[in-house]
Amino acid sequence: MTAQKQKYSEATLPRPWGESIPERYRARIDDLFDTWYAVSARNRKLTAYYNMKAVLKDLGISIPENLLNVNCVVGWCKKAVNAMAVRSSFDGFVFQGFEDDDLNRLVRANRMRSLYKQACKSALTHGVAAITVMRGGPGQPAAVVRAYSAHQFTCLWDKDERRASCGVVLNEVDERGVAKRYTAHFPDAVLTLERGDDQRWTCIEEPNPMGRPLMEVIVNDPDLDRPLGHSLITPEVIGIVDKAMRDVLRMEVGAEFFTYPQRYVLGAADSMFADPPEGCAEDEDGNFVDADGNVVAPVPNDRKKARAYLGALLAISRDENGELPTVGQFSPGSADNFTRVFENDAQRFSGATNVPLAQLGVQSNTYTSSDALGAANDPLILAVEDMNADNGEVMAEVARMMMAVAGGTTIEGLNVERREVQVAWKDPSMPTISARADAWTKLGASDQSIVGTRVYYEGIGLSQAKIDRLMAEKRENAAITAMARIADALEGGSTGIPAMKKNEEAEE
């Protein structure tokens, strides 16, 4: 059995061709693949930095060639992307404050919370990621949502509509990692392009009544000149990581010299450092042997003494003039210099990405209070809130497409309440439950009506499962209390005197 290659970042993307592709779409498909090929090398480079597989950039000055294979990985790019993605937590959809059970079922069936997080990481890494909505088949949800990284899709931007005018996604690769099936999204049709065993491409065209491509793009840091965004891994970030990798290598070399300082011998006999005869090597028994293992000559005693000295022991003989050689060792460089340089790299990286130093694994700052610690996270939180505002518009459009596809209608065919869908996000500051409880307790003191509602418990930070259990127990307790009151009221049934009246007479 042949294992299928699933690394889409390394997939080969052959251009589909054939008479079966409708002529009116061929020009745009060619434009899409030209765009895809143009950015593929850049996307692979960004993926390498995210996956900590970037190659060391040697300046050719101080690092010996035989040390370039030392592992000097710096994982800051991944930490920066994940630090933002983990704070951008999608929490479902609401309609004017209320939830829709049908849409919630689609969200759960498509695992959209996890799907969004993956798409968010890809958008931060490459600048853009895609989400598509398609009609589900047998055993699938009514609307199937899929996410694609920049390795798996390409699109053309429509500046007037402010969305993708068309796009192509990679659906399947063969066992060699070569693309086998694409799906092309157009405003009026969806094309399924598949490569057969004879390497010929076939095309299946399906009408798209939505009037827009069933694709939305999540974009990081867009602007008017680059509406498809920028990667969080900017040229500045790449340069800092390249330098940090060299500094890690220098730290490794410096640590070796600090542990085993370089030594010197002045006035030693040449025989102490004589090279083995040509084509020979030194064996464990102290002999020079040839390539066949035959003994050529014994190793000179002076050479053995020199090796013993360089290892640990002082055992040096007088030279031919009867003089003792002068021996010593060079003072090793301080490791503090390397540490300070590496911390400076981390500080530059933190300034470029808004990720606090502590989250990069560099504990160079001592926070004097919780306020100081919170202030260190403020730039990152503000950046995530800004990103959520942009992504919220995209996810709301995805929700409208989900409801339209599931209902067999268009977005314009949805009722007004459904078209006004909103996205719920978790607090990007990620406060502790005690901090949440303190804040919402103060809100509850000023407005007693919110205490005990689902919004109140969500604000405190309880999970939906716990909130459901609390609400169920409250309903159960309310029912029991109501039944008890009815029973109390019926206690005076045999005399026809209400229980409340009997109590009043007893008090008199």
Per residue, the 3-state secondary structure of 47-104, as one string, reads HHHHCCCCCCCCCCCCCCHHHCCCCCCCCHHHHHHHHHHHHCCEEEEEECCECCHHHH
How far, CA to CA in Å, does 424 sit from each of 114, 119, 215, 320? 15, 17, 21, 87
Q: Is the pLDDT of residue 134 over 50?
A: yes
Neighbouring C-beta atoms of residue 2, cutoff 10 Å: 7
User: What is the residue type of 116?
Assistant: Y
Query: What is the DSSP code (8-state) at residue 46?
Result: H
37 vs 74: CA distance, rounded Å: 29
Indicate the domain borders of the chain. Answer: 263-328
pLDDT averaged over the chain?
A: 82
Q: How confident is the model at residue 443 (pLDDT cuts 50, 70, 90)?
A: confident
Q: Work out the average pLDDT over 333-339.
A: 73
Residues 192 and 181: beta-carbon distance below 8 Å: yes
CA nearest to 212, candidates 165, 160, 169: 165
394 vs 406: CA distance, rounded Å: 18
Stronger pLDDT, 441 or 164, i.e. the higher one: 164
**Residue 2 confidence (pLDDT):** 45
Q: Work out the average pLDDT over 280-290.
A: 71
Distant-in-sequence, close-in-space partners of 119: CB < 8 Å, separation ≥ 6: 129, 130, 131, 147, 218
Q: For the whole model, what pTM was predicted?
A: 0.77
Tokens, residue 152: 């798996």
CA dihedral (423, 429, 430, 432) in degrees, to 10, reads -130
Residues 321 and 309: beta-carbon distance below 8 Å: no
Query: What is the DSSP code (8-state) at residue 286?
Result: S
CA dihedral (240, 246, 247, 250) in degrees, to 10, reads -170
**Residue 488 confidence (pLDDT):** 77
Q: Is the pLDDT of residue 278 over 50?
A: yes
Lowest-pLDDT choice from 276-280, 414-418, 492-496: 492-496
Residues 176 and 5: beta-carbon distance below 8 Å: yes
Q: How confident is the model at residue 20 (pLDDT cuts 50, 70, 90)?
A: confident
Task: Give the residue carrying structure tokens 């867009």.
Answer: 222
Q: Work out the average pLDDT over 347-359.
A: 90
Q: Is the pLDDT of residue 338 over 90?
A: no
Distant-in-sequence, close-in-space partners of 386: CB < 8 Å, separation ≥ 6: none
Task: Give 70-121 pLDDT, tens digit per residue.
Answer: 778 899 999 999 999 999 999 889 887 677 889 999 999 999 999 999 999 9
58 vs 65: CA distance, rounded Å: 9
Share of the chain above pLDDT 70, in %: 78
CA nearest to 222, candidates 214, 231, 213: 231
**Residue 318 confidence (pLDDT):** 56
Q: How confident is the model at residue 56 (pLDDT cuts 50, 70, 90)?
A: confident
User: What is the residue type of 47?
Assistant: T
**Residue 494 confidence (pLDDT):** 46
Task: Give the residue carrying structure tokens 């009408």.
Answer: 207
**Residue 360 confidence (pLDDT):** 86
Share of the chain above pLDDT 90, in %: 46
Residues 394 and 217: beta-carbon distance below 8 Å: yes
**Residue 372 confidence (pLDDT):** 61
Q: Is the pLDDT of residue 472 over 70?
A: yes
Q: Work out the average pLDDT over 281-306.
A: 68
Task: Give 263-275 pLDDT, tens digit per residue.
Answer: 666 665 555 556 6
Q: How confident is the model at residue 140 (pLDDT cuts 50, 70, 90)?
A: very high
**Residue 455 confidence (pLDDT):** 76
Task: Give the residue carrying structure tokens 């409708």.
Answer: 22
Stronger pLDDT, 194 or 316, i.e. the higher one: 194
Task: Give 199-251 pLDDT, tens digit per residue.
Answer: 899 999 999 999 999 999 999 999 999 999 999 999 999 999 999 998 888 88
Q: How confident is the model at residue 365 (pLDDT cuts 50, 70, 90)?
A: low
Q: Is the pLDDT of residue 436 over 60?
A: yes
Stronger pLDDT, 60 or 451, i.e. the higher one: 451
Residues 266 and 309: beta-carbon distance below 8 Å: no
**Residue 29 confidence (pLDDT):** 94
**Residue 445 confidence (pLDDT):** 82
**Residue 189 confidence (pLDDT):** 95
Q: Locate all alpha helices (DSSP H) within 447-463, ordered by sequence.
A: 454-460
When mean pLDDT is compared over 105-119, 339-353, 422-436, 460-474, the highest value belongs to: 105-119
Assign 9 to helix, strand or coil. Answer: helix
Q: Work out the average pLDDT over 377-391.
A: 92
Q: Is the pLDDT of residue 308 over 60?
A: no
Tokens, residue 108: 């759960």
Q: Is the pLDDT of residue 255 over 80?
A: no
**Positive or negative, the Cα torsion across 266, 268, 273, 277?**
positive
CA nearest to 215, candidates 135, 143, 133, 160: 133
427 vs 459: CA distance, rounded Å: 9
401 vs 409: CA distance, rounded Å: 9
**Positive or negative, the Cα torsion across 85, 86, 87, 92?**
positive
Q: Work out the average pLDDT over 47-64.
A: 80
Q: Work out the average pLDDT over 322-335.
A: 65
Task: Give 386-417 pLDDT, tens digit per residue.
Answer: 999 999 999 999 999 999 999 999 999 999 88
162 vs 300: CA distance, rounded Å: 81
When mean pLDDT is compared over 55-64, 170-179, 332-341, the highest value belongs to: 170-179
Q: How confident is the model at residue 495 (pLDDT cuts 50, 70, 90)?
A: very low
